[in-house]
Structure 1
Amino acid sequence: MTAAPRVVIADDQALVRTGFRMILTADGISVVAEAANGAEAVEAVHRTAPDVVLMDVRMPEMDGLEATRRILSAPPELPPRVIILTTFDLDRYVYAALSAGASGFLLKDVSPEHLVAAVRLVRAGDALLAPAITRRLIERYATHEPATVHRDLSPLTPRELEVLRLLARGLSNAELAERLHLSDATVKTHVARILSKLSLRDRAQAIVLAYETGLVTPGSY
């Protein structure tokens, strides 16, 4: 039987931390530490080695973006998955957080059921990218000029490039299957091959790379 996910909650609002902790522990998820700022979050991760970090963006001393960079660029060899907590219209750094290696994001008014599902999903290795929100965020905050990324996309087949383009526009597996007239299993296989060929951890990194290489540009449909 798979062990329960171990979580660190980083948010400068004590009520938010308390609420999330109560929701998670009620479903058997272990909250191993809480942090009120980014520096505390980095220390807590190093001390407790959690599976998932729920990371607020706007915090004193060190914001969630810098904390995410430090957590994912330092030991241990298997860093936790980071889920960014956002109020959506206020946080302008979600795209940068995904670029830093975060596995997705949640709105702070997330339902208890969605919060629990999100932690388990990300812990299992998937990326938490709700299609509609992903589309809006990336179009709003992605750099309009491709970054100096020289990742070679030539290992991808024409079909895999097509899948990556649609993935970067926020389509879910079900939407990809419908658009390309493929089965869900075939879509999952294509996505897995894309991640493997490009040495990417999850869909979040794939979406970021698609924009940074210029394969897809904000607003291109």
Structure 2
Amino acid sequence: MLRVLIVDDQDLFRGGFSLILDAQPDITVVGEAADGLAAVAAAAELQPDVVLMDIQMPVMDGVEATGRICATTSAKVLVLTMFDLDEYVYDALRAGASGFILKDIRRDELAHAVRVVAAGESLLAPTITRRLVQDLVRRPGHGVAPRLAGRLGALTEREIETLRLVAAGRSNAEIAAELVVSEHTVKTHISRILTKLDLRDRVQAVVFAYEAGLVVPGA
């Protein structure tokens, strides 16, 4: 049974998401929180598998709460946003979130999103991948970080190629087709990449690839 914590400062959204997820046979909502600070405390106490996290909230915003939860628990954070290019989504992903969903998501898609993130995958649409890169390039002092580039030496050639394709926004199926291997092999490569680079998930792998200079924006 997947355990979910819902965090949003609006009762309507918390209640609606709760009803939808509790109706699923393999999902249970273990708690709710109306602000980031309460979310951090609830995550520590309830140990959910997935946290649905709103971004703009009182007391503590969702970005800071995401960072604290990801640093102190094994919960996966799924960001809730009204707009797919919300300026705070990028920071939440960098803080450790495993992806994002829009608040007007269909009920079947909501349950699917929770299952995907709980399974260790990420929800990162191509538009957000592009936004990640654009924001990264625009940041003051942007450039290749030698310390990160050096860590690429821990990867095999095939793992480096896999990471490059992940950063390009390719799905496991697309990567498998391009490398002429099975999807299971791709998943194994990605798992090893995350372990070797000490990354939480695919989202962090995308950010790492660009910051390490493995992928050049626009190339």
- Structure 2 residue aligned with 1:139: 133
Say if 2:36 and 2:65, in contact at 8 Å, map to a contact too. Answer: yes
Say if 2:84 and 2:102, in contact at 8 Å, map to a contact too. Answer: no
Structure 1 pair 188–206 and aligned structure 2 pair: CA distance change class (3 A): same
- Deviations, residues 133-157 of structure 1 (Å, cap 9, x unaligned): 3323323422442374713100112
> What does 1:187-206 align with in structure 2 at a 5 Å threshold?
187-206=186-205
Structure 1 pair 40–128 and aligned structure 2 pair: CA distance change class (3 A): same
Q: Give, in whole Å, the separation in 1 of the partners of 2:216 and 2:80.
A: 25
- Structure 2 residue aligned with 1:87: 82
- 2:13 matches 1:11: no
Q: 3-state SS of the aligned residue for 2:147?
A: coil
- 2:14 matches 1:20: no
The runs of 5 or more residues in structure 2 that have no matched partner are none
Whichever residue aligns with residue 163 of structure 1, its letter is T
The percent of aligned pairs where both chains have the same amino acid is: 54
- Structure 1 residue aligned with 2:65: 67
What TM-score does the superposition give when structure 1 sets the normalisation length?
0.87
- Structure 2 residue aligned with 1:166: 165
**Regions of 4+ moved over 6 Å:** none
Structure 1 pair 110–217 and aligned structure 2 pair: CA distance change class (3 A): farther
CA RMSD of aligned residues (A): 2.0
Whichever residue aligns with residue 17 of structure 1, its letter is R
What TM-score does the superposition give when structure 2 sets the normalisation length?
0.88
- Structure 2 residue aligned with 1:108: 103
Structure 1 pair 164–203 and aligned structure 2 pair: CA distance change class (3 A): same
Whichever residue aligns with residue 99 of structure 2, its letter is G
The runs of 5 or more residues in structure 1 that have no matched partner are none
- Structure 2 residue aligned with 1:182: 181
- Deviations, residues 50-105 of structure 1 (Å, cap 9, x unaligned): 1110001111221100111122223xxx4311111122355212222122111111
